[in-house]
Amino acid sequence: MTKSTKAILALEDGTVFEGLSFGADNTCEGEVCFNTSMTGYQEILTDPSYSGQIVAMTYPEIGNYGVNITDIESNAIQASGFIVKNCSEWPSNYRNGQGYDKENILTLSEYLRQNNIPGIKNIDTRKLVRILREKGALTGILATGTYNKEEIIQRAQKVPQMTGQDLATTVTTKEQYNWTEDEYDLCFKKLESMDVDSKKPLIVTIDFGVKLNIMRKLHSLGATLITVPSTTSAKDIMALKPDGVMLSNGPGDPEPIKYAQETIVELIGKVPIFGICLGHQLLSLALGAKTFKLKFGHRGANHPIKNLETGEVAITSQNHGFAVDPGSIDTSILKITHINLNDNTVAGIRHKTLPVFSVQYHPEASPGPRDSEYLFVQFMKNILEHKK
């Protein structure tokens, strides 16, 4: 059993939680948020959308099935820190350790340690979540080992707020690359490749913090994929001769990412476009809408989304702290296609005359498990129709 040292979580409002450390022995800062998922902690930790955030899990038992290489959504842990009630020291699952050296990585704590990410356990996570729900998102400091409580609280009050931060540039790829990996077959049928010609449609993904499973889904449908940095210009993207453009998810506030909005404006009308999460927000901004910060965000794997065009309800995975203002949407060119049934926020839009649409959730995730995959199929259909 790993020996734990003391750890502290201090919030900007002065609230302090003292517990035990797991993972790396160091200090981190960021916006403290919570995720209501019962599983998926490795996908959560490696999702670039969590950059700049300390994530608390509401489910009390975390780490039970260990870690493996197939559950990652990027090449490293992206969250700044991790908060749990209990962290399992004895994971039990046949996939535990797959893809890793089992002598070095067997537990969630060791996984965090090797990525230099601190964690705190044995605190009242229910109290923490109540505070965040009542007061809204708060900045915080997570520290392990020896610390001065008052000093940590003062530091927590100086942590930059999420509003106004362009974090996409911190997580985006530095260089353009090709993607060739299909989705994993985890005990259920894969997406069937669509009826495409011998020259597979080329999709360019603008990486604002893309989750790998988005590209796996598109490749499984028969697309050729190129991923480019978030700052890539429309001219350089069109020089690749794409048949479609994917606007990926990502962290931070969409409003200050002006360069991306300008790029999207230039791409609209030239190629089919599909946006996910931050990509949805950026597309909306490019089309004249406005965004606002949610009180405590949507993060979990059981958010009900209603398709207003079909009446169907899907169970979705979500991770975002900002949303599109419905009153700012130009209904002469855009249609609201989806809403979040928990709070009626905008969860999807579609251009009325162009093959351009987006959603405020993760269709590549599998809480349904196949509820939202039709969106990828629709994107491919738009591309194939546009190519004719």
Q: Quote the tokens at residue 42.
A: 């490795």
Q: What is the pLDDT of residue 388?
A: 77
Q: Are residues 61 and 134 in the same domain?
A: yes
Coil, helix or strand at residue 206: strand
Coil, helix or strand at residue 44: helix
Q: Are residues 55 and 174 in the same domain?
A: no
10 Å CB burial of residue 197 (0-12, 13-18, 19+) is exposed
Q: Are residues 74 and 138 in the same domain?
A: yes
Q: Is 162 within a domain?
A: no
Q: How many domains does the chain have?
A: 2
pLDDT of 174 over the 70 cut: yes
Question: What is the rounded radius of gyration, in angstroms, for the C-alpha atoms of the chain?
Answer: 21
When pLDDT is cut at 50, 70 and 90, the band that residue 189 belongs to is low
Q: Are residues 275 and 347 in the same domain?
A: yes
The position carrying tokens 């959308």 is 49
Q: Are residues 199 and 152 in the same domain?
A: no
Give phi and psi for 362, each to the nearest 5. Answer: -110, 95
Alpha carbons 336 and 330: distance in angstroms, whole number = 10
Q: What is the pLDDT of residue 369?
A: 85
Alpha carbons 140 and 117: distance in angstroms, whole number = 15
Indicate the helix (H) or strand (E) that contains 263: helix 258-267
Q: Are residues 139 and 173 in the same domain?
A: no
Alpha carbons 349 and 355: distance in angstroms, whole number = 11
Active site residue 181: no
Is the separation of the CB atoms in 375 and 347 below 8 Å?
A: no
Beta bridge partners of 317: 362
Q: Quote the tokens at residue 250.
A: 């990502």
Alpha carbons 218 and 182: distance in angstroms, whole number = 8
Is the separation of the CB atoms in 272 and 283 below 8 Å?
A: no
Is the separation of the CB atoms in 182 and 190 below 8 Å?
A: yes
Q: Are residues 146 and 175 in the same domain?
A: no
Active site residue 364: yes
Alpha carbons 93 and 15: distance in angstroms, whole number = 37
Q: Are residues 270 and 316 in the same domain?
A: yes
Share above pLDDT 70 across residues of the chain, in percent, rounded to a whole number: 96
Is the separation of the CB atoms in 215 and 179 below 8 Å?
A: yes
Domain that holds residue 344: 168-387
**Checking phi first, is residue 105 left (phi over 0); if not, alpha (psi -120 to 50) or beta?**
beta
Q: Are residues 120 and 261 in the same domain?
A: no
Higher pLDDT, residue 56 or 186? 56
Q: What is the pLDDT of residue 105?
A: 77
Domain boundary among 156, 186, 220: 156
224-233 per-position pLDDT tens digit: 999 999 999 9
Higher pLDDT, residue 70 or 176? 176
Q: Are residues 259 and 334 in the same domain?
A: yes
Q: What is the pLDDT of residue 323?
A: 98
Alpha carbons 328 and 286: distance in angstroms, whole number = 12
Domain boundary among 97, 132, 156: 156
DSSP 308: T
When pLDDT is cut at 50, 70 and 90, the band that residue 197 belongs to is low
User: Which amino acid, one-letter code, is at 73?
Assistant: E
Is the separation of the CB atoms in 324 and 360 below 8 Å?
A: yes
- The catalytically annotated residue of 255, 298, 362, 373 is 362
Q: What is the pLDDT of residue 228?
A: 98
- The catalytically annotated residue of 12, 29, 255, 364 is 364
Give the number of residues written for the chain. Answer: 388
- The catalytically annotated residue of 277, 280, 303, 320 is 277
Q: Which residues of 238-254 are buried (b: 16+ CB within 10 A; e: fewer)?
A: eeeebbbbbbbbbbbbb
CATH number where 328 lies: 3.40.50.880
Is the separation of the CB atoms in 166 and 256 below 8 Å?
A: yes
